[in-house]
Structures are given as C-alpha cells and as structure tokens.
Chains A and B, each alone.
Chain A
C-alpha cells in the first residue's frame, strides 16, 4: 500500500485492497470464469479476486441481501471494513494516513522520484523505497524541511508506530 501511494504516478486502488482482502479459493465446480472452467487446473480463472466487498460481519459480509455471483471470502468475519474502522492499527487506517500524507505534501503527488540508497538495509523490506524521496521544481524548496526530516528519521517521522 505504501508503494502504491508513494511512487511517482497516479495510484489506482482495487476494491478491498484497503482492508487487505485475499483471493477466494474455489473448487472446480464453483468456478464461474469461463477461461478458468476451460483451462482448470492449469489456470483457475479470475474469480479469486472478484469476491464481494467485505463490509461487515453480517450476512454476505454486508454486500447484499441476495446471493452474490461469487461467494464471500470466509475470512470476512474478521476482515471487514467495520472491524478495521474500529481498530486504529488496521490496514484501513494505515491507508487513510497514507492518503492524508499524500494530500498534505505536493511532492508526494507531483514530485520527482530520487532513490537515496541502492543497497537494501533490511531483508524482506524495500528499504531504499522507504528512504526514497521525491521533490519537483517549485515544490523542492517548500518540501525541503519534510525531506530532511524524512532523511533523518528514515521514514519514521510519519508513522512512529510502524517498524520501518
């Protein structure tokens, strides 16, 4: 999510990404996507990422009172918008904070991309990206303060609770 919302460019979020929705797993007989029906088991189709949005812990995850085209992911009782709204440490709130950050800093929306490091510092974490900053044209001077802070804090300044 941090990559999506901090890279240079216009981010497009897919529904459910903000709560970390996973693909559903279907048995052969449940597959509805024609390419998946035809090429199973080599290709199981695109049904996995098309399950109903998980709004709450109610029936059909709050998506509909009718039976939806594809089944709701069984994790909907835990993973749903209502539950994550109530949890300040959730991916939902992390996404909201990132969006606010993007809104607050023009450099995050329109700036250039300048990687500060070329060597990973932590395994399993694109540390270079965490340290990457962007600044562009007129915005550069204005953004220099936050950039210095970001450099010093290695990203920590914005999300003190995050282990980056």
Chain B
C-alpha cells in the first residue's frame, strides 16, 4: 500500500510524506521509510508511548542513542518531534512552573 501511495505522490511535484507512526516500535517506524515508501516517519523517542519523559540526562542520552542506532542502521533520515496535536506539550512535560521558560532555566537551555 505504501508503494502505491508513494507512486501516486511521485506524480506530483515537491511532495513529502511523513508517517505519524506513534504506536510503532522504532524498528517498525523506519520500515515505513524508503525511496518507494514514505519519505520520513517521526521518531517519537522523546514522547514515548508509556508517557514517561523524565528530565534526566541519562534517559535523554539513552533515547538519542536508541534513535541514532535504529535510524542509522536502517539508513533512514530521522524526523524529530517534541510536541504534537495528540500529546502534552514539551513545555508542560518538562517545565515545573511558569518561570521555567524564562532565560537561564534548564528548559530554555535544552
């Protein structure tokens, strides 16, 4: 089906298709991408399905490493997303109070 979709898309100029593959495992996500499939699929490594997103350097590095490994091995260029229309906003997930978005706060740096 993805092949058909891509063939149809390719009959138009300046096309780009990205998959909102939220419930898929990273390996499955990359499998949707390719020259005859989608151009890209979102990596939801920072908004995982279990809604666990601690502000923790180790966890964030782990997610980056996992994402790098999966996408790099598959030869797929990642697409990064921190918030979308279905999930709590990044600022709500990570910030503790209103002042957290002010200059000098951890949220702003990272």
Contact = CB atoms under 8 A, between A and B. Distances in A.
B85 to A, nearest CB: 6
Contacts of B58: 120
Q: Which of B18, B86, B91 has the most CB of A within 10 A?
A: B91
A153 interface: no
A161 B60 contact: no
Contacts of B106: 124-125
What does DSSP make chain A's interface, helix, strand, loop or mixed? loop
A125 B109 contact: yes
Interface residues of A, number: 47
A48 B91 CA distance: 12
Given A2-B110, A4-B80, A9-B43, A126 B98 contact: no
Contact of B82 (A17, A91, A164): A17
A125 B83 CA distance: 20
B87 interface: yes
Contact of A7 (B64, B98, B101): B64
Interface of A: 1-4, 7-14, 16-17, 19-23, 46, 48-50, 75, 78-79, 89-91, 94, 113, 115, 118, 120, 122-130, 161-164
Interface of B: 18, 40, 42-43, 46, 55-58, 60-61, 64-65, 67-68, 71, 77-92, 95, 98, 100-104, 106-110
22 contacts: A1-B108, A2-B109, A3-B110, A9-B43, A9-B79, A10-B79, A10-B80, A11-B80, A12-B80, A13-B82, A14-B89, A14-B90, A49-B87, A75-B98, A79-B101, A91-B108, A124-B57, A125-B110, A126-B57, A128-B61, A163-B104, A164-B109
